[in-house]
Structure 1
């Protein structure tokens, strides 16, 4: 027995070098594969050493342990740091192993936004990919250039005019809902405006009326809001970045559920629209162009135009490509606009003199009638336009946006390495006291032509700027002015919160955690103010 044990033991000993060899080989492979990443990480760390930054900063984790998880608290942190480093052109923070350069001076911002090289969206936008794919917001390089060129004609002025009808219809539904609050207790108007904007984008983007204003609890509406919240939380938590880990958490499973609801809805609408298009082409062919369809001209949505769009080689978009763009319109096209309208109402409710000027202008343009808003009206609402611009200065709908550098770059004397992320902190940029004296004051007159002359072109970028500026800017401005005109022709607004009571939450969109609480009074006949 002893001899058998000795032989077995010696056999195992002979296997040890083989096992050790395999482990050593695996470790070598892992080390060799990791070496380029480690070298790149070390290069970034060394190059960024001179850039002022937040401490404490730990290897691999960076400042992640220091950052607040809640949107409101994290945004307060960013505001604090921006003021602390105001005299510097840039400061850095590390989210895990990813370096982020925070910009809040016009000259620094111009270096990035004016460049045709630095057009790649930040790594943090990767978490939008499951929902939006690589559509116009998240794509880069040749794909982005091709899509931008293809989609730009869908925002042509003549096409936007057709959408004004939708904005008037949905705006009137909103006004009727607001009527119930006249001379009553204060109420939170934020969700009312948001649901109206959602109805407008659904009908203009997809040609589908989801009736969000009448049914705010629909699965699709709930999934949109839940998805935005989940993405924001994941962006700030490096331990949730790997997909295989994320799905193990409750948030990961919720993310998957919401994603299925959103994609199923869009897929169904696209399939229906494609079938409609096929049928209408068949009808046209059958009629041989000899008879016009009875009834009024059918309203077109972005989706109709995307189904017909072709690139330089005459290729159409695939269903997946179309879904990316429709989902992108849905994500970008309602929350941002709704936030802007809410901020205008809040600010006018705190500044009665400005509100009186808006009412006077509305009375001059509409002459105390309740007719729909036209494109000519929008051109004549010049003071209201300045009010909207000033609201977007104080409370930009997108309070920050980020890019990833694909090559080294110099910002005001600091060398920033490729692979670093650059965060444009719009909220702080718009509060530069050298460009906007008394930056916390609400002064629409800042945007009168004579007062805007000579202002740095990158001091005010609510819709971003440069090659990747917001393609839907004119659509947003048209919707904001139309809904505001419909609301303010009817009501006098009083705000119930002081700025410090709002609980600003700078997530994907800048929104007040405690809502926008207002009181409404019916306006007396025009001119009585």
Structure 2
């Protein structure tokens, strides 16, 4: 008995020593970062353990306005410091501070807050780091080849036609919120192109999947802002853990069922490069390519690997694009003179025809592309993203120690008056070739930049062109909200609090 008690006591001593050692290392690291970052301007007084967390607003809209307010207040500050719990974050919103991070292969790890995406997206292309990210990026890049994107164009045209039919029900009538219409169209497109499955979301507007994507984004964003919910046990027992798990089950059940279905029925029958019995080439889907992709050693992706990438592409490939199109619709509806210029360009390309859009047409829609880029400048779909500094470095003359998280505030970066005079004005001409020559490439990064830029940006721009062109060929848009009414909130994706309200007038060809 005495021997057993002695062993327990010894074990308790060892455990206490381990806890003390870990605590000492963590505390020493925090003190080191606190000392190194002391010269950096701060948003206010940081308290032990909580940092600035108590000063930050809790609602998504108020929090986003508060952060953007800080960047306005400290527009000329070289860097801006915020402590969330024991972790320091640096806000970067100048091209010269963003470039050293995004253009450096050493600082490619996503920030600590991305770990809260892992239960949903695993460690796919968005959230993975190090060698896994490098090998996965190399493996997936060929799946976004322009020839494959051309196959997706047919799907985009078909779903755009469905959308136009849906919007036609509102033409000449009272104002309506178009946000869900655009989102469901984007979901139909991504499901068919990513997974080869039609889900008819535009015909079923109460999509459980869409609701779960939005709710999951909100839950993750709220958790990121509240350090006391960072530990898993605290989040699951005292936070929104139960609802998080419910949404997670819906999201994973959906993708799992499609993957299994494609493995059993779609993949084995796929004729990716040959003609089918009907004389028409079978459509390739992103999932089909994942199922047959192999690495340099001939190894296929595991089922878990495939689900990670499908979940990632489903989230990033519909939510961000849908938001971008909705913001563009508002801006076009609020600026009829710019809308008329786009419609004139469309008439020059299509005349009075209602034929589908082909790849050559897309190349000719240069002014529409400028409109899309300017809309993404004012309302970037991803308003901020974060990285971890992986070794001691200097940014704009300040020492930044290893382990610090930096938040790149795309929304504020795109409003730098040095590069975009009168930044709140909607001026698509900013992106004409003669006006972009010589502009710092890191002052405008709606799809990030550097090695970890968005692999799907050509897909997104193609989709936005097809959908917006289809709408503007059929309707005149009038926005029913002023800029102040929009109240954007930046969870994982930038959205307006009350949607996008418009009226439509049918155009006569």
TM-score (normalizing by structure 1): 0.92
Name the counterpart of 2:45: 56
SS class of match (1:314): coil
Mapped contact 1:390–1:443 kept (Cα < 8 A): yes
SS class of match (1:520): strand
Name the counterpart of 1:8: none
Distance change in 2, residues 1:78/1:205 (3 Å) = same
Mapped contact 1:72–1:503 kept (Cα < 8 A): yes
1:315 pairs with 2:299: yes
User: 1:142 and 1:20 mapped to 2: Cα distance?
Assistant: 43
Distance change in 2, residues 1:121/1:18 (3 Å) = closer
Mapped contact 2:267–2:291 kept (Cα < 8 A): no
Q: How does 1:19-58 map to 2 (within 5 A)?
A: 27-58=16-47
Q: How does 1:155-304 map to 2 (within 5 A)?
A: 155-249=144-238, 251-276=240-265, 279-280=268-269, 293-304=277-288
Name the counterpart of 1:328: 312
User: 1:17 and 1:398 mapped to 2: Cα distance?
Assistant: 57
Q: Following TM superposition, by how much is the alpha carbon of 1:280 offset from its aligned partner in structure 2, in angstroms?
A: 2.8
Provide Cα deviations, 1:56-84, integer angstroms capped at 9, x if missing partner: 21011001111112111111011110011
Q: Following TM superposition, by how much is the alpha carbon of 1:17 offset from its aligned partner in structure 2, in angstroms?
A: 12
User: 1:207 and 1:235 mapped to 2: Cα distance?
Assistant: 34
Give the one of 362, 371, 378 matched to 2:355: 371
Q: Following TM superposition, by how much is the alpha carbon of 1:20 offset from its aligned partner in structure 2, in angstroms?
A: 9.6
User: 1:337 and 1:278 mapped to 2: Cα distance?
Assistant: 27
Q: Following TM superposition, by how much is the alpha carbon of 1:258 offset from its aligned partner in structure 2, in angstroms?
A: 1.2
Worse overlay, 215-224 or 151-160: 215-224
Provide Cα deviations, 1:379-410, integer angstroms capped at 9, x if missing partner: 00001000111111111110101001111111
1:361 pairs with 2:345: yes
Name the counterpart of 1:99: 88
Q: Following TM superposition, by how much is the alpha carbon of 1:522 offset from its aligned partner in structure 2, in angstroms?
A: 1.1
Provide Cα deviations, 1:419-472, integer angstroms capped at 9, x if missing partner: 110111011111001111111111111111111111011010000000000000
Name the counterpart of 1:466: 450
Mapped contact 1:119–1:140 kept (Cα < 8 A): yes
1:391 pairs with 2:375: yes
User: 1:25 and 1:130 mapped to 2: Cα distance?
Assistant: 33
Residues paired across the two proteins, number: 504
Mapped contact 1:395–1:510 kept (Cα < 8 A): yes
1:117 pairs with 2:101: no
User: 2:365 and 2:81 mapped to 1: Cα distance?
Assistant: 42
Q: Which runs of 5+ in 2 are unaligned?
A: none
Mapped contact 2:184–2:205 kept (Cα < 8 A): yes
Name the counterpart of 2:459: 475
Give the one of 75, 82, 91 matched to 2:71: 82
User: 1:21 and 1:464 mapped to 2: Cα distance?
Assistant: 52
Name the counterpart of 2:366: 382
Mapped contact 1:161–1:375 kept (Cα < 8 A): yes
Mapped contact 2:382–2:494 kept (Cα < 8 A): yes
Distance change in 2, residues 1:38/1:183 (3 Å) = same
Q: Following TM superposition, by how much is the alpha carbon of 1:220 offset from its aligned partner in structure 2, in angstroms?
A: 2.3
Distance change in 2, residues 1:364/1:505 (3 Å) = same
1:152 pairs with 2:136: no
SS class of match (2:53): coil
Give the one of 108, 111, 122 matched to 2:97: 108
User: 1:511 and 1:218 mapped to 2: Cα distance?
Assistant: 18
Q: Following TM superposition, by how much is the alpha carbon of 1:29 offset from its aligned partner in structure 2, in angstroms?
A: 3.5
User: 1:505 and 1:247 mapped to 2: Cα distance?
Assistant: 25
Q: Following TM superposition, by how much is the alpha carbon of 1:238 offset from its aligned partner in structure 2, in angstroms?
A: 1.1
SS class of match (2:90): strand
Mapped contact 1:495–1:519 kept (Cα < 8 A): yes
Give the one of 59, 67, 70 matched to 1:70: 59
Q: Which runs of 5+ in 1 are unaligned?
A: 1-15
Larger CA Rg, structure 1 vs 2 = 1
Name the counterpart of 2:322: 338
Provide Cα deviations, 1:322-358, integer angstroms capped at 9, x if missing partner: 0000000011011111111111111111111111100
Q: Following TM superposition, by how much is the alpha carbon of 1:320 offset from its aligned partner in structure 2, in angstroms?
A: 0.3
Mapped contact 1:212–1:221 kept (Cα < 8 A): no
TM-score (normalizing by structure 2): 0.96
SS class of match (2:284): coil
Distance change in 2, residues 1:250/1:432 (3 Å) = closer
User: 1:292 and 1:30 mapped to 2: Cα distance?
Assistant: 64
